[in-house]
């Protein structure tokens, strides 16, 4: 089970994420309670070992600006979160980072991983970053194809059940491993990874 811990903001967060065996860590570079500036992101990314994927997460900014932030932060992947069209992904092709397409499950959502040129598809709650759990049973009728990651309201308490229902390739968590909005709880980080893999 691929596990991404998102919204990390401190060196201690990164150290704990690596220690838990997380496969990927996310740094939010646009408006959010978890936003950090690109200079801090670059310092944190420098502490991420090669075997862990470092991801810049952006929402609501043009693709060119997102690509610039990713380059400055030195991440290995860029997550475009929200209603980015295929043209945005095309625009970022050929950059020295891979692409993650993060979207909610809608009637017209293309659920094929790679359909927009991305390497990973992330299916999130309609209200990203809210911590609200959504009805993952909807994925029983429309299953994503390829390597896809489930997100949206996951926590140590519900991730096992969500994985059992949705059968994703991976999971992503942010608010579910916090002690307060934007502040990571290192105990919950460890617990989440253990339960997700259990």
Active-site residue (options: 6, 13, 37, 110) = 6
Tell me whether residue 13 is one of the annotated catalytic residues: no
Report how far residue 46's alpha carbon sits from residue 56's, in angstroms, rounded to the nearest whole number: 13
For 152-187, give the secondary structure using H, E and C. Answer: CCCCCCCHHHHHHHHCCCEEEECHHHEEECCEECHH
Q: List the catalytic residue out of 13, 39, 124, 172.
A: 124
Is residue 146 within 8 Å of 182, Cβ to Cβ?
no
Tokens 């043209």 found at: 87
Catalytic (active site) residue 6: yes
d(CA 147, CA 20): 22
CA distance 26 to 149: 13
Please list the active-site residues. 6, 124
């Amino acid at each position: 089970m691929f596990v991404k811990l998102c919204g990390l903001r401190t060196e201690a967060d990164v150290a704990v994420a690596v220690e838990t065996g997380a496969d990927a860590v996310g740094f939010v570079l646009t408006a959010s309670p978890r936003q950090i500036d690109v200079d801090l992101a670059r310092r944190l990314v420098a502490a991420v070992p090669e075997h862990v994927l470092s991801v810049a997460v952006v929402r609501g900014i043009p693709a060119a600006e997102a690509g610039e932030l990713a380059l400055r932060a030195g991440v290995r992947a860029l997550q475009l979160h929200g209603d980015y069209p295929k043209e945005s992904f095309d625009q970022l092709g050929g950059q020295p980072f891979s692409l993650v397409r993060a979207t909610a499950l809608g009637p017209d959502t293309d659920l094929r991983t790679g359909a927009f040129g991305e390497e990973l598809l992330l299916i999130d709650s309609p209200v990203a970053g809210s911590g609200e759990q959504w009805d993952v049973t909807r994925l029983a009728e429309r299953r994503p194809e390829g390597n896809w990651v489930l997100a949206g309201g996951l926590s140590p308490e519900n991730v096992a059940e969500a994985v059992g229902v949705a059968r994703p390739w991976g999971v992503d968590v942010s608010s579910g491993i916090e002690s307060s909005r934007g502040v990571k709880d290192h105990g919950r980080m460890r617990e989440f990874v253990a339960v997700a893999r259990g």
